[in-house]
Amino acid sequence: MTQTVDLTTDRFRGRRRWFGPLVTASLLAVAGAALSFGAVSVPGDQVLGVLAREFGMTAFAEPTQQAQAVVWGIRMPRLLLGFVVGASLAGVGGVLQGLLRNEMADPHLLGIGPGAAIGASIGSAVGGIPGAISGGVVAGVVTAFAIRRLASRASIDPTRIILSGVALGAALSAWVGFVVFAADRATVPPIEFWLLGSLTGSTWRALGTTTVFVVASGIVLLSSARTLDVLGLGESSARHLGMDVDLVRTVLLVSSGVAVGATVGAVGVVAFVGLLVPYFARKVAGPRHRHLLPASAAGGALFVAASDLASRLVIEPIEIPVGLVTAAVGGPLFLWLLTRRRDA
């Protein structure tokens, strides 16, 4: 009788075992700090008191009205939107890197972010925040289709697709400027909101709308984990194994466009998350996408929420765009990862 091969375990199992609890603990720590710290400092027992009362309990300290308004009305939706945006961008980054077989793929570098920002800025002139998010989703999908066309013409060379995306992104960013400067300044957020990203002024409504789009596309992307693994063998082998590669590309790019477009509509283009986080997650969780994608999403949520916290606290009381923090931290960190000796 033939001996079987153990396919359930792999060399990253040990790392994943500590990564899960570590990320969870870090997310909780960032959440606690984000709800407590800021221009108005809310003590921990007051924060817990607010949370308890929102869930119908009367535990912990009786919160002041101000604490109630700051923690639940302002900081909570902002924290959660940071989680959703980070998870979405990093998850999509992991998907695109697998799809293009290139670790340098990133939704914003490929032009999806700037493209979505055009639709989002137009949408915000028409319909406020829901308009911005819907516009971002539509334009994100359209840009993803444009990249799909580029990809089908130069299917052999993913590097060319990425370079094309960079050029496309630069041109589209300029168009965001045209839209913003032509629009009414009272209704459309300024250029730095769209191109640098900001979680300032996050609302429960923006959180709800964004989450619907991100969860819907996230289900499609997460369920494609095995497909993305097989694509790692190359397009030709994937076809031999019965994969409809063209259909897979279309579905994954459209879903990516939806997920990224919704985040851009809500908070603008937050740089580096989709590039850095999956790269790091791959070292921890391994290359198999059913581990890599959730690890990327968790890491992205942590990275964006922590960066947003820093953006509020670094030059208090001034808030700097969160994209500046992610780029300022992410850039050097990414260079360090790239130049480090290549191990596991």
Partner 1 sequence: MPDAITAAGLTYRVKDAVLVSDVDFRAGWGELVVIIGPNGAGKSTLLSLLAGDLHPSAGTASVDGLSLGGAATAELATVRAVLSQRTPIDVPFTAAEVVEMGRFPHRRNAANSSELDATVVGAAMDRTDTRRFSGRIFSTLSGGERTRVSLARVLAQDTPVIYLDEPTTALDVAHQERMMRQIAALAAEGRCVVTVLHDLNAAAVYADRIVLMSEGSVVAEGSPRDVLRTETLSETYGHPMKVIDHPLHDCPLVLPG
Q: Structure tokens of 281?
A: 């997650």
Coil, helix or strand at residue 67: helix
Contact residue for partner 1 among 61, 177, 229, 283 (CB under 8 A): 229
Residue 340 binding partner 1, by CB under 8 A: no
The residues, any chain, with a CB within 8 Å of residue 142's CB and separated by 6 or more, are 115, 119, 257
Q: In the bound complex, what is the minimum distance in angstroms from residue 90's beta carbon to partner 1?
A: 18
Could you tell me the sign of the dihedral formed by the alpha carbons of 78, 198, 218, 258, in that order? positive
64 by DSSP, 3-state: which? Answer: coil
From candidates 152, 239, 335, 337, binder to partner 1 by CB under 8 A? 239
Q: How many CB atoms lie within 10 A of CB 44?
A: 12
Comparing CB distances to partner 1, the nearer of 9 and 339 is 9
Buried b (16+ CB within 10 A) or exposed e, 280-305: bbbebbbebbbbbbbbbbbbbbbbbb
Choice from 56, 236, 315, 318 touching partner 1 (CB under 8 A): 236
Residues in 275-314 at the binding interface with partner 1, rule: CB under 8 A: 282, 287-288, 290
Q: Which stretch binds partner 1 (CB under 8 A): 178-186, 221-229, 304-312, 326-334?
A: 221-229
Stretch that binds partner 1, among 82-90, 236-244, 264-272, 302-310 (CB under 8 A): 236-244
244 binds partner 1 (CB under 8 A): yes
Q: For residues 48 and 324, what is the distance between their CA atoms, to the nearest angstrom?
A: 31
Q: What b-and-e string marks burial along 130-145, b requiring 16 or more CB atoms within 10 Å of the CB?
A: bbbbbbbbbbbbbbbe
Identify whether the C-beta of residue 330 lies closer than 8 Å to the C-beta of residue 273.
yes
Footprint of partner 1 on residues 5-24 (CB under 8 A)?
5-8, 10-11
Measured CA to CA, the distance from residue 49 to residue 58 in angstroms comes to 7
243 near partner 1, judged by CB under 8 A = yes
- Cα 331 from Cα 342, distance rounded (Å): 19
Cβ distance to partner 1 smaller for residue 248 or 306: 248
Q: Which of 14, 20, 44, 232 binds partner 1 (CB under 8 A)?
A: 232
| Residue 153 in contact with partner 1, rule: CB under 8 A | no
| Residue 62 region by backbone torsions, left for phi larger than 0, else alpha for psi between -120 and 50, else beta | beta
Q: Shortest distance, CB of residue 278 to partner 1, whole angstroms?
A: 12
Q: Which of 65/236 has CB closer to partner 1?
A: 236
Residues from 42 through 81 that contact partner 1 (CB under 8 A): none
Q: What is the DSSP string of 155-167?
A: TT-HHHHHHHHHH
Looking at 219, 241, 335, 338, which residue binds partner 1 (CB under 8 A)? 241
Cβ(244)–Cβ(279) below 8 Å: no
Task: Pull the structure tokens for residue 128.
Answer: 């406020």
Please select the residue that binds partner 1; options are 92, 100, 137, 225, rule is CB under 8 A. 225
Stretch that binds partner 1, among 57-65, 137-145, 230-238, 302-310 (CB under 8 A): 230-238
Member of 3, 58, 65, 339 binding partner 1 (CB under 8 A): 3
Three-state DSSP class for 10?
coil
- For the segment 96-135, give every residue that binds partner 1 (CB under 8 A): 101
Q: Where does this chain bind partner 1 (CB under 8 A)?
A: 2-8, 10-11, 101, 225-226, 229-230, 232-234, 236-237, 239-244, 282, 287-288, 290
